[in-house]
Chain A
Amino acid sequence: MHLHLYEAAVGAAAALALPAAIIGISGEPRGPSLHEVRPTVAIVETVLDYPLPGEFLAGGTPAAAPVENRAVPAFHVMKQQVSLADYGLCVADGACDPADAAPTGADVPVTGVSFLDAEAYARWYSKARGQTWRLPSAVEAAAAAAERFGGESFSAAADDAANPSVRWLRRYREEAAVKRPADPEPKPRGHYGPNTRGIEDFGGNVWEWTSTCYARTTLAADGSIESVTDNCGVHVLEGRHRAYMSNFVRDGKSGGCAVGTPPENLGFRLVRDEDSMIARARNWLRGAFRSAMADTV
């Protein structure tokens, strides 16, 4: 899946006005058990082509995920995945269940955490910081991951509507072709390096939970969406490729991966909405931009 990204003009303008936010090490209040402030990266308003998550049916047969052109409002994202040590603070506070991860002195991301664990951590972290932190939606994860965004690796579309096995066999061969040796050992944070936005380790061996529910969408003959059934007992994970896992699953090998080798580890990072004053200014700018563009489209 080719990802076409561009910064909206307003986003770039707002970013210039806030140079510190690009690096994102802002002076946020300390939580009771947090010893240091976690660096964040500001993601400016972005417009991107985004393959919708979930499964799609057209005329009763599986169809390729439609690609939507989406505007993603600005937000702040943790530069690194939440670490095992940071997660341990939440556990010590009694607000999180222990992760299914081997103890280590190394600065590794937390792994062996379910969607429910990640949500619990977000609640605790928000309270500790006096701010609203949450899991990113899948499209926010895509915006933050930029060139490292995997999305859907292979088409889920039926190759032959009268013979479903053609698709099953194709998918099997595609998945076998990209199989790589499993490398589940969590690496020290920063091991996989930053992407062009300065966000580290996306697309490494830790897949990241999102707040986006799995959904099955029925498409009409013209490609428009006819109906959507959300299943919020299953959430989307983004990483090297997209995966869908039940909320309580901590082990990626439980299956539920659309394609390729199952996720080696399940972890997460959090995002925070932009401060309301800046958001208001940005919205005003965006409105002005849209009305200016309306004549030219």
Chain B
Amino acid sequence: MLRVESVTKSFSGFMAVKNANLDVQQGEIVAVIGPNGAGKTTLFNLITGILKPDNGRVFFKDEDITGLPPYEVCKKRISRSFQIVNVFPRLTVFENVQVSVLSQKKKTWNLFTPSNRLVVEETVEILNNVGLIDKKDRTSALLSHGDRKLLEIAIALGGNPEFLILDEPTAGMSPEETSRCIDLIKQLSDKLGLTILFCEHDMELVFAIAQRIMVMVRGTTIIQDTCNEVRCCKEVQDAYLGGSEVCSV
């Protein structure tokens, strides 16, 4: 479904992403792992059009989407959440998601229908799914960190995606919130049939939900394979797991 071919990006000489390759099939959950500064977020920015790659191509459903602006990428039904909370702080939780749904339904040029009567059902459904419905009238700047991370995902879902990219969805969440978030991600994949690409530092979580894993080190993808293969791979253990992980096959 998504194919990234030898994508490269440098920031004034520093290679943040170097020859990255990635292949995600329809309906899969794929994790990208790698140490801090490996280039995971940059890779996601390259896929979603926030950054333009220096080299390489990105294909979605065999269509070349390299270098399209984010709003065009979004129209292909690719959505993403951000690592650093990136919501609309002055809007309420409900409005945050509603704006996203309105945009997906191409209603943003409508000047005279009151928006409080539009796309209410869709918005409520999404808020129900992520469990933020009780807090729908709160200003999003005043939410707890965990709730804002959930709102991140909710906004992404507002775009009615087929392909969902999550950048460290559980970072900074309490253990309880994390387990709820894991359930949510599984649910999205099972019930809505979303294809999901995410990155995460929490290995337990990664092994719990990912079907395949891609490992990134210093901007380069070193391996992309199933969980167990990755866990056993010597290179990965050296580079990332500190060599301490025991192969459990």
Q: Do A and B come from one complex?
A: no
